[in-house]
Structure 1
């Protein structure tokens, strides 16, 4: 009996040892197996052609319950995955994506920079008033260029009158003075001179006004009215006039205008491409103005000798830390806003040469106590700061290069307003 018990204990120990060895092997295999990273789950959202998310329409509760009962009878229960989980990417994937994006943006900027001289030459050539023959009659020399009568914009004086009596709101330029001179709708060319005429507003004519026959009705000019249309403003003036309007809001307005006139687009306008094209066009216009000796940052009242100086600061033009980041260089870098290295060098020079910390020094060298200083001199600077502060709503979200270019353009516009007024 004792011998049988010993045999049974030995067999039990052998079985336990075998199970322990098997468990150890399974643990070693599990530890040696590579850890599989779960694939990111992507939540797909259906969007309208305008880019808005289309919410799924709720189904009927009765049909949904019947269908659920039918599925419950046929198929086993299925646990749907969580569709609200965020997409997780590995740091290596994100880094590669950012590098590819930065490389693509750099190539695009290089292509724009290489193409800019040709664009400048083309823009300058468009301002050359050469001798053209009327593209309507083909006989007389052209006297007017119409920007809306494409692809045949050049017209003689007679064809201009016959064409724009019906199309009153076309944008025209006279060519008789040796340069393109914008013409209002009530002006036409007679013997190479500008003359005044009467134009009727292009509105729909009623078939019947009173009991008189239509043959007895005549159209005669009345009082002068002002007609304002969307086509009366170009893109540049419109963008720079709507200071608080972001680029995204402006493009949404353009898309709505496109849909309104039946030209439904197949896709949305890229805001980045639109802004880049706008800045490049302004760069071309800036180069053309330099060729024409136009200096947007010279004050006519202070040239050649400056009359007064006023110093003030505008602290509203900061940038958010989470704003767009790009290594792209600004198109107008150094034109109006000083470069970072120049500002740093100047600040270090001031810190090394002045004792600006002491209040006594600040009072002594204050502008209020200097000869020739005026207390009301800074009013014009305050007006300029108020004008530029309105664009701070959008520039704080821009990249460093985009902010520099936009502030430079707005400052040039302010100077142009001073000259025109």
Structure 2
């Protein structure tokens, strides 16, 4: 009976405590609160882990297992530690890897054009070296029976990828029997996954870089090419390299790449503007009714045809005939918008107020499914 009385008393105390407690949080709020508490509790441990990762320890080369490691390459993990000799032999074929030295007692990124050598004094030093552009090589460069060719350093070339800018050299193959030479051309660069910035191919952009820029423009259409190339400059500096990425050259090369891909899709019968919601006639209406290109008339630039003539912007002849039809049918009344004289300030073509806004865009209203394609251009 005493045990039963104690249990009943405990039950009454618990009911009274539940009555004065705050109402329980929702499941989502409770999960968010628990996640935040877990991060707060783990913050000191995470800070210690971050600091300990910068600690320099004496390591042996993971490849020869004999000499002292002086280079760490995170992209070669789990065998990321290299001695000076193994680093030269392995990264000769992996030029774009981002390597770090531990010579001065801390991790420091070095460009692929630098290597670590052991001096006669027993100390390590940084030396310059020539690096080849990673490109596909032909099996034969001449009609000789043997495919024995020597590789030498060719002209300098700039490669820009998602990790920034690299200053490299093109490889030149020379047959040891007939002295026939071979050097990569624009077609070879395209086969290797690059795209020329100019027809002289002094600068190359990685095609994967264009795909990344296209995906980012789709997710964030307001991002400019200057912001994207500034990010590439920061990546270049972060990994111990130097040099800038030309934003204008990037834009021109990207447009040519997109246009060539469009022509390729046309040849294979792939339609870029296919909307499952409003096919076969996709809905895309220009809101302001003009292309805001009157600023180019003040310059001496030659008028060049558009890359996608008639694809998503109607041709001039079609627009002119449509406007004449509307003006001949609809009577103009005061207060209603006309082309170039709209009451909407953002779409007015003849604005008297000076501003620094970009007036080269087009205000359009499209189906949400078609928006993905329009945001890429």
TM-score range, shorter chain: 0.3 to 0.5
Q: Which has the higher helix share?
A: 1
Which protein shows a greater Rg?
1
TM-score, normalised by the number of residues in structure 2? 0.35
| Structure with greater strand percent | 2
Higher relative contact order (CA 8 A, sep 6+): 1
